Amino acid sequence: MKTFICTLLACIVFTIAKAQNTNDIADSLRYGRRGMVQDTNIIGGIIGIYYKGATNYYAYGYTAKDKAKKTENTTLFEIGSNTKVFTALLLAEEMGKGRVDSKTYIDKYVPVNSGISNKVRLIDLVTHTSGLPTLHDSASMAEITQKDSLCPYCAVDDKYILSVVKKTDRLEDYGNFNYSNYGFALLGHILTQMNHSNYEQLIKKNIFAPLHMNNSYVTMDTNDVRMATGYKDGERQPYIMLTGLAPAGIIKSDIRDMLSFVKYEMGVQHSTLDGAMQLSQQLHYKSPTVNVGLGWLNTVEYGDTIYVMRGDTYGFSSLMAFDRQQDLGVVILLNSESPNVTQHAFSYIMREIAGNDAKYASKFERPAIKLDSEILERYSGDYKISDNLMLSVSAEQNKLYIQLTGQGKYPAEAVSDNVFVERRAKAEFEFVKDKEGHYSKLILRQNGMEIPALKAN
C-alpha cells in the first residue's frame, strides 16, 4: 500500500483557467493536450462527478492491456487507502452509539509494552498521530519482506499486529502527523474484537448494507469479469493481498458505489449513518500542512472546505473528495498506479469549478496600480518554499515577474504597495517586512492555500 501525500506542486500551478461544464472538464482530462490519452501508462479509468444535482460518469480506456474490454461503470478497482475512511466510519459509528470513547487508551483493548502504557488513544490511531510504527517505512518493510518475499503484506496478520504494539517501547514524534497503515490495522483489529466479528462482516453489515453498496467488496474472486487488471509503468501488477492490514487498504469497488458514498458523506443522500459521517468529518488534528478528521483529510481550496482521501496499491490509484460549498463530489478510479494523475485531475476539476466561482474570482478584480521601479526592486530575489522549490522575483521594465522552479515566468500586477496578483492563475503574492524593515518574506495565496517563502540570503 502507498501513503497519501499531497505534493506542493499539486497546490501551486500557474495555469489559465476557463469556465466549463463537467462534460468539457472530463473531456479535457481524458482527451486534452495533457490528458489521459497522452499518458501511455494509463491503461484505463473512470471519473465520477456529482455537481449541483447531476451525476455523470466518464470512462476512459480498457480494463486490461489487451484492450479486450472497455472500462465502464461496473468495472471494479482496488481503492487502497480510501478504505481507511470506511474503517474510520466504523469507529465513528461506535462513538455515536456511546459504545466507545475515542480518547480511551488502546491498553483497554490490546496488551501493550509498558514503555507506552496509557499513552496512545484510539483517536491517535485514526489521525495518524500515535507515534507507533507505520509499516511502510524501510525497517518495517525489510522485516516483513524477510518473512514473505513474494507477498510481504501477507505476513502482517493479527498476530503480527499485536506483536508490534507489544515490542514497541517508545513512540516516535507522538502527537504529530505521520501517515500510518499500522495505526488503521490496529484500529481495525480493536473494532473487530469489540464486536466479536471480522473486518469483512463489519463492513458489510454496518456500511455496505445500509448504504446499498452492492458492488463493493473486502474479499472477492479477482477472476470476476468486472475486475480491472492493475498496472504500473505499463507492467501488470499483482492484486493486493492483505490480512491484518485489511482495514488500511483492502476494499474493491466501482464508480457507482464510490460516488454514491461521497453523496452520502455530503448529505445529498441520507441513511442511518448520517450522524457517524458528520462525526467523522469533524477535525481532530490541525497543523500548517494537514488537517485530519476521522479518515478524511481536510484542506481549504479557493476558500472552500475540501474533504479528500486518496489510495494507491501496486497497480491502482484512486481519489474521492467533496466540496459542499460548490455542491461538488468527485471520485477518480484508475487501473494504473499513477497517484500524480488522480491528484492533478482533481486539482484541475477544482480550478475549473471553484476557481471560477464569482465569489473567489472577485478577489482578483481589484484595479492595478503603478509602482516606481525603486519600489519593485525591493522585492527582487529568490524566496525559498522548500529545499527543491523556489519563487524567483525580478523587476524588469517597471514590471514585477515571478517564476516558480520548473515553470515559466509570469508578470504580476500590483494592487497595493506590497501585494501583487497573477490574475489568470488566480495567485496572490504579499511581500512582508521583518523587524528591521526589510522585505524578507513572501506569502503565496492560491487555491485557497497560504504558503510562506523566506527570502534567501
Question: Taking a C-beta distance cutoff of 8 angstroms, is the pair 321, 305 a contact?
Answer: no
Average pLDDT over residues 220-245: 94
Cα→Cα distances 231→57, 327, 337, Å: 22, 33, 6
Report, as an integer, the average pLDDT of 148-170.
89
Q: What is the pLDDT of residue 364?
A: 78
Tell me the pLDDT tens digit for each residue of 345-386: 999 999 899 888 877 777 777 899 999 999 999 999 999 988
Whether residue 6 has pLDDT greater than 70? no
Task: Give domain limits for the chain.
Answer: 8-358, 366-455
pLDDT of residue 247: 97
Q: Which residues contact 264 (CB under 8 A, 6 or more apart)?
A: 211, 270, 271, 273, 274, 277
With a cut of 70, say whether residue 15 has pLDDT above it.
no
Identify the weakest region by mean pLDDT among 177-181, 358-362, 401-405.
358-362
**What pLDDT is recorded for position 238?**
94
Cα separation, 323 vs 304, in Å, equals: 7
Residue type, 268: V
Tell which wins on pLDDT, 268 or 153.
268
Residue 7 has pLDDT above 90, yes or no: no
pLDDT at 316 over 70: yes
Element (H, E) at 23: helix 22-31
Are 91 and 102 in contact by the 8 Å Cβ rule? The answer is yes
Supply 192's cell numbers. Answer: 473487530
**Owner of C-alpha cell 458505489:** 257
Q: Where is pLDDT greater, at 229 or 435?
A: 229
Please check the confidence at residue 245 and state whether its pLDDT lies above 50.
yes
Q: What gap in Å lies between CA 156 and CA 148, rounded to an integer? A: 10
Residues with Cβ within 8 Å of residue 440, at least 6 apart in sequence? 432, 433, 434, 454, 455
- CA distances to 83, 142, 391 from 164, rounded to whole Å, are 22, 14, 43
Q: Is the dihedral of CA 77, 316, 90, 345 positive or negative?
A: negative
Q: pLDDT value at position 269? A: 97
Q: Is the pLDDT of residue 18 over 50?
A: no
Q: What was the pLDDT predicted at 3?
A: 41
- Angle (CA) 393 396 401, round 5°: 35
What pLDDT does residue 291 have?
A: 92
- State the pLDDT at residue 139: 74
Over residues 203-214, mean pLDDT: 98
Q: What is the pLDDT of residue 290?
A: 86
DSSP label of 172: S
What would be the CATH architecture of the domain defined by 8-358?
A: 3-Layer(aba) Sandwich (3.40)
The mean pLDDT of 92-116, rounded to a whole number, is 96
**Which of the four pLDDT bands, split at 50, 70 and 90, describes residue 150?**
confident
Q: Lowest-confidence range among 125-129, 186-190, 203-207, 449-453?
A: 449-453
pLDDT > 70: what percent of the chain?
A: 95
pLDDT at 17: 41
Distance, in Å, from the CA atom of 349 to the CA atom of 356, rounded to the nearest integer, reads 11
Instruction: Give the three-state DSSP class for 390.
Output: strand
According to the model, what pLDDT value does residue 186 have? 98
| Mean pLDDT, all residues of the chain | 90
Q: Please enumerate in sequence order all residues whose Cβ is within 8 A of that of 71, keeping only pairs 6 or more positions apart, or say none.
A: 44, 45, 46, 59, 60, 61, 62, 63, 228, 335
What is the separation of C-alpha 268 from the centre of its chain, rounded to a whole number of angstroms? 21
CA distance 221 to 78: 13
Q: How confident is the model at residue 301 (pLDDT cuts 50, 70, 90)?
A: confident
C-alpha cell at 308: 479528500
Could you give the CA distance from residue 360 to residue 446 in angstroms, rounded to a whole number? 11
Binning pLDDT at 50, 70 and 90, where does residue 102 land?
very high
Q: Could you tell me the sign of the dihedral formed by the alpha carbons of 33, 37, 40, 42, in that order?
A: positive
| Euclidean distance between CA atoms 259 and 456, whole angstroms | 45
- Where residue 435 falls among pLDDT bands split at 50, 70, 90? confident
Percent above pLDDT 90 for the chain: 73
Q: Cα–Cα distance between 393 and 400 in angstroms, integer?
A: 7
For the residues 208-231, what does the mean pLDDT come to? 95
CATH topology of domain 366-455: Lipocalin (2.40.128)
pLDDT at 1: 56
Tell me the per-residue pLDDT of 319-336, one tens digit each, with 9 for 90 and over: 999 999 999 999 999 999
Give me the mean pLDDT over the 269-288 stretch: 94
- For residue 115, give every residue at least 6 positions away whose Cβ sits within 8 Å of its Cβ, in sequence order, or none: 168, 169, 170
Residue 448 has pLDDT above 90, yes or no: no
**Helix (H) and strand (E) counts in the chain:** 14, 20
